[in-house]
Structure formats: structure tokens, C-alpha cells
Structure 1
Amino acid sequence: RQDHAAGDKLFVDYAGDTVTVVVDRLSGKTRQAHLFVAVLGASSLSYAQARWSETLPDWIECHILALEFFGGAPALLVPDNAKVAIIKACHFDPQVNRTYCGMAAHYGSAVLPTRPRRPRDKAKVEAAVRIVERWLLGRLRHRTFYSLAEVNAAIGQLLHDLNDKRVLRRVGATRRQLFEELDRPALRPLPVERYVFAEWRIRRAGLDYHVEIERHYYSVPYRFAREQVEARITANTIEIFHKGERIAAHRRSSGNGKHTTIPDHMPSAHRRFADWTIERIQREASAMGPDVALLCERILADRPHPEQGFRACLGIIRLNKSFGRDRVNAACGRALEIGARTYGSVRSILDNHLDRTAA
């Protein structure tokens, strides 16, 4: 027999039986919904939620909804050694899934799985599962459901009867009354922000200091190129860690095979070229003179892809530092007259002072 302190433990498990849901009215195709069960140790207040699967996202979402149902968080979450929660079952030092640990820590709780092959460690939830299967599933077995929301609405009504109306014979009170007396004062308050589901994945940064996550590439500081990193992935963000230190954060993008690069992550040699666009090249060229603008325009137009002419145009524009604006504009005019379309031609004209020679 176990004695449970108020607000100490929340036992969680999945019921063995499932709920049949009709997902296609025309064909009559059905799908099985799994039933998550959570019960507080001291008051036996119970919570249940139907989900399509027992995968990690559903497991975490069920915990969040259960804690919001109870209005607080216990000191310990007590699951069995299911693979979704426990990476490696061990009598002395079990390895808990990192996402599960993160969720528990967000609510100020810790995870304490039961000992392997010791069902009596979670006798409370085993009993609650049996009650839920009889009290809920037994009453729902003759009903036809057409959506998961419809199933959960029916479960909510029956849970109200189980928790608020059914009197426990040995104590002469309902689960709700015991909860208000014992567990509610002892539960930790919920944080202001709800936990955001996040998955962790191990990646290695490429030689181009980008990390591939679901067919999109995110930059890290270039000094971490070819280093092993950890990615924390949520619905909206990508955070990248190296030896526990966050080194990059990005807004999540779709898997389109493209790159998201933060300029500060680039080495200086790459950064000098990163912010140049066709529009900026045309603007800078026009500021130097009409012949420079016209030559750059023709260089960009002659290449199969405009970006192939970036370096040539950029080189011509930067000749201003060595030769001055007027000479560069005159050299570009001479290059246009002789049909030259390269940086080398313009530089040769300037080096040989041909820009000062009449054509």
C-alpha cells in the first residue's frame, strides 16, 4: 500500500483499449484513437484525453492539457518505461527523453519513471486506467464518433461525472472535493507561457557553416564549420547549440532547399559580397557616371544569369578608389566604344592611360 503526499505525484499512462472513430462517412473507414490517462496521487482526480497516436508530440500535448486541467503542476511526473518517454530503462539511472525533461522543467516538475517490470509502482494509474476503461469506454462503446473532438467532448462529460458526482465509499467524498482539500493547495502554479513543443536533433555543420534541418540550411558562426551541434526545433524557431551554448537562432523556414544566413556568421571575405544586389550595383554605377552605369547594365545583360556579372561590376565600381570617378567613367566609355565587356578590359585601359586618349 502506498501513501501519496498532496501535490507530489501525477501518474500517467495510456489505456490498453482504444476508441473507434469513423473518419470517412461515405466509405465507413475507421481509425483507432488512443486514450491518455493522468491521475493525481493524493486525491485520485482523473483526466483523460483521446489522441490519434502515442508519439512524442501527442504525449507532450496530453501532459500540457492535463496540467491545465488540474490548474497546477505536481513535484513529480510518474510514467512507465514507454519508449516515448524513456530512452533507456534502468533500475538505478533511467535516461529520460530530453524533450520530456524540458517540458517537465518548464512547469517546475521532474520525471521519475517507475522501475522496469514493477507495475505496482504505478498502481494508482493502473487502477485509474481500469476505472476509465469501465466508466468511460464502457459507456462509449455503443456510440459512433466522427471526429476526435467529438470523442473528447463525450469524455469530458463523463469525466465530470466521475470526478464531481461519484462519491468514493471509503472516504465519503468525491475526487473533486478531495482535490480541493488536498492537491490544489500543494500544486505549483503554472507558468505564464505555455510550453512550446521542441525536438532535439544532432547535426554537423557543413564546410559552408550551415546546418541542414528538414531540407533547409541555417547558418552558424563560421568558426563552427564541421563541428557537431545540437538543434532545438519548434514550430516557429530553430536554435542551434554547441556544447550546451546557444550559437545561433533562426525563424523556421519551409523545406525548400534554400539557405538562411545571418551576416554576422560569415567570415569577412564572404560578408563583403553578401549585401550586394543587382539594384545596389545599378545604383552605385549610376552614381559614378552614365558610362559606368551603361557598361554594368550590359555586363549583367550579357551573362546567362545576372549574378554571374556581380564580381565584374563590383570590381569596376571599386576602381574608383584607385583611379577616381572621372577616369573610371571615361575608361568605361572607351570600353563601350571598342565592345569590351569585362573588368580586365577596363583595368587595362586605366593602367595604360587609354582613357585619356581620344578614340
Structure 2
Amino acid sequence: MRHVREILRLSLDARLSTRAMSQHVRTGATTVRDTLRRFTRSGLSWPLPPEIGDADLEERLYGVPGAKPGRRKLPEPDWPVVARELKRKHVTLHVLWEEYRAEHPDGYRYSRFCDLFRRWEGRLPLVIRQSHAGGEKLFLDYAGDTVPVVVDRRTGEVRGAHIFVAVMGGSSLSFALATWTEQFPDWIAGNNAAFAFFRGVPQLLIPDNAEVAVIKACHFYPKVNRSYTDMARH
């Protein structure tokens, strides 16, 4: 309820725009508009009466009249679609919840949305859990997006840096290095920098189908860059 009260204060006292309120409370503009619409329909006045606590405010804004305990009266999200969308870059449960609420303004609140998704997810078939011994495997790849780096403060010139990432399988200890390209020299430099950071070499190097290292991906017999294979053997 802290965000609800803050949205009401910013709107009714500070008179901020929807966009400004969204940035201030770090939530979507759809959520801000929905909160204000619910407050208008609730019949409450601002400032809120002292006797209106968080539970009362939640009931007045989000309560479902006539709903029986233990029975869902709200539109059910398409959980398989939610799970599939979560695999895309930059997609979070909060983003998907905002899309759901835009389509169903009277739908589940965010906390309930997350709870129901976790319950649905818990009913899925179990997957094989992998175990990694300490120092055995080092997973390597480039992160998906580049990071803007100012290379000339006078002109404001910006270049995109590629982020090389190495993670130890046993401990999840991680190393990251910014490079200008994802070409082979930078890949090898990233590997060597990771070895120096970890102060040792693992038994296995596992590039996650990085194009610079894996020429042809295959579950059983991937074709790895010959020079990279020579470095690993060395």
C-alpha cells in the first residue's frame, strides 16, 4: 500500500504527470492510471481519513464485492504463455502483470499474480538437477546486450561494449570483462583474464554456444573452433 499512498500524494498534492509518477515510484504508467481510477471509484476523499489503514484502503480499492473466500472470481492469466514470454530478453513478471492488468483492470494484484504463477510452475514436471564440483567447470559466453561507453568526453562519442562473462559452475563465482568486439582475439583475451581472476584453470571450459567459439552447435558432438580447442588443450 506504500506505492498506492505515494501515487495518490503525487497526483493529488504534487499534481505530477502520470509519467513522472511512474518514474518516481518505479512502476508502470498503466498501474498508476489504474490506481487513480480505482481511487476515484472508491468514493474516498483526499487526504485520507485517519481511520483508513492499509487494509481498509486495499479493500476499498481492490476488494471484490460478493466474492466467496477460496473461489477465484478474477480472469485467469494464460500461464503457459506467461512462462514462454519470461524466456525472452528484458521480460519480467512485472511487465507481464502490467500487460495482464491493462487487459483486465479488475484482475489479480501483482503479489497474487506472482503467487499463482509460482504455484502453477510448481506443478510442472521436474527437470534434472545438475551438480558441479568445485573448480571443475567454467561456463563462458557474451551477455546479450552491449553497454554504452563514453569514449570521448569532449565530443560525447559513445561505443557499445560487449560483456564477456565467465561463471564457475560449483560456486557461481563470476567474472565479467568489457571488450569492443566479440571476435576471436577478444574472446581469448577474456578467457585468459578469467583464468587470472580465478587464479587457476578449470578442468572443463564450457562456451554456451558462443559463435566465436562454437562453429556448429550440437548436443552430442559440437564443432569447436580449432584454435580455441588448441588453447584449451594447452
> Per the shorter chain, which TM-score range?
0.3 to 0.5
TM-score by length of 1: 0.29
Q: Answer with 1 or 2: which has the greater Rg.
A: 1
TM-score by length of 2: 0.43
